[in-house]
Structure 1
Amino acid sequence: MTTAPTELANVRYLIDDVRAAVDFYTTHLGFTVALDAAPAFADVRRGPLRLLLSGPASSGARATPDDLATAGRNRIHLVVDDLDAEIDRLRAAGLTFRSDLVSGPGGRQILLADPAGNLVELFQPAQRAGAAPATP
């Protein structure tokens, strides 16, 4: 294995429109652009997450068999301090959510989709007295 535990976590999302995806992640979710090679590819980052946005002309997308190229049930998971405020902010920006708000023992979550349909989970951990925030 060549990836060191201290390196960024890399996730590749296959997308239809690199520009629209870069705008979505940077405008609404606080990512910054590390590399913009639109229309084929972009590399956006938030903390230790490196999100590789691969358009139809990128090598990552071309290597994917057609029957596997659709968005799946996997998603990136972003922890937020105030989920209600994030929902209000994103709705005010014209975004729609793909799920209802769900509460469970570990916290609350809601799903939205990027312009290509890839899922993003916004998660607020449950606060427990004397305990560190939970993660799912």
Structure 2
Amino acid sequence: MSETPINVRYMVGDVQACVDWYVRHFGFRPLPNASPAFAAVERGPLRLLLSGRGSSAGRPMPDGRQPEPGGWNRFQVIVENLPTEVERLRADGVHFRNDIVVGPGGSQILAEDPAGNLVELFQPAARA
């Protein structure tokens, strides 16, 4: 039996720019049936739904609020060597919202996609 995908929806300004960014920097695979308003990419069980203003997810709420990109919610990508991965991504033009933060559970940093949505890169702390 195949694994059921986990869907995460991100609002984006430029659908194709975001597809290209996730494919290039994080190894996602584009799924068919993309349009200027919507596309999906996947990596393992994670399916990332990239919705522009013209998609059904981009419609205003009953109170008039508009769905928009950015914010603080994110998904996490586990890496083995965070400094090396950050160096690779920075050399390729990826923008980070912060510097590496070290805590008791590990180290993390927040990469921003072209729409300002976040991907957390996380290296778990070494356990004795």
Both structures adopt the same fold (TM-score exceeding 0.5):
yes
Instruction: Structure 2: give runs of 5+ residues left out of the alignment.
Output: none
CA–CA separation in structure 2 for the residues paired with 1:118 and 1:75 = 7
CA–CA separation in structure 1 for the residues paired with 2:42 and 2:60 = 23
Give secondary structure in 2 for the equivalent of 1:37: coil
Q: Is the 8 A contact 2:60 2:67 kept in 1?
A: no
Cα drift, residue 79 of structure 1: 0.8
Deviations 1:69-125 (A, max 9, x none): 342211111111111111011011012210110001110000011111101100011
CA–CA separation in structure 1 for the residues paired with 2:96 and 2:31 = 27
- Report 1:114-129 matches (<5 A): 114-129=113-128
Alignment-derived partner of residue 16 in structure 1:
13
Alignment-derived partner of residue 100 in structure 1:
99
TM-score w.r.t. the length of structure 1 is 0.84
CA–CA separation in structure 2 for the residues paired with 1:36 and 1:19 = 12
Alignment-derived partner of residue 91 in structure 1:
90
Alignment-derived partner of residue 42 in structure 1:
39
CA–CA separation in structure 2 for the residues paired with 1:34 and 1:63 = 26
Alignment-derived partner of residue 133 in structure 1:
none
Cα drift, residue 35 of structure 1: 2.6
CA–CA separation in structure 2 for the residues paired with 1:66 and 1:35 = 30
Q: Is the 8 A contact 2:38 2:51 kept in 1?
A: yes
Cα drift, residue 68 of structure 1: 4.6
Give secondary structure in 1 for the equivalent of 2:114: coil
CA–CA separation in structure 1 for the residues paired with 2:75 and 2:88 = 19
CA–CA separation in structure 2 for the residues paired with 1:79 and 1:117 = 20
Which region of structure 1 is more displaced relative to structure 2, 117-126 or 31-40? Answer: 31-40
Instruction: Structure 1: give runs of 5+ residues left out of the alignment.
Output: 1-5, 130-136
Partner amino acid, structure 2, of 1:20: A
Partner amino acid, structure 2, of 1:60: A
Q: What is the total number of aligned residue pairs between the two structures?
A: 124
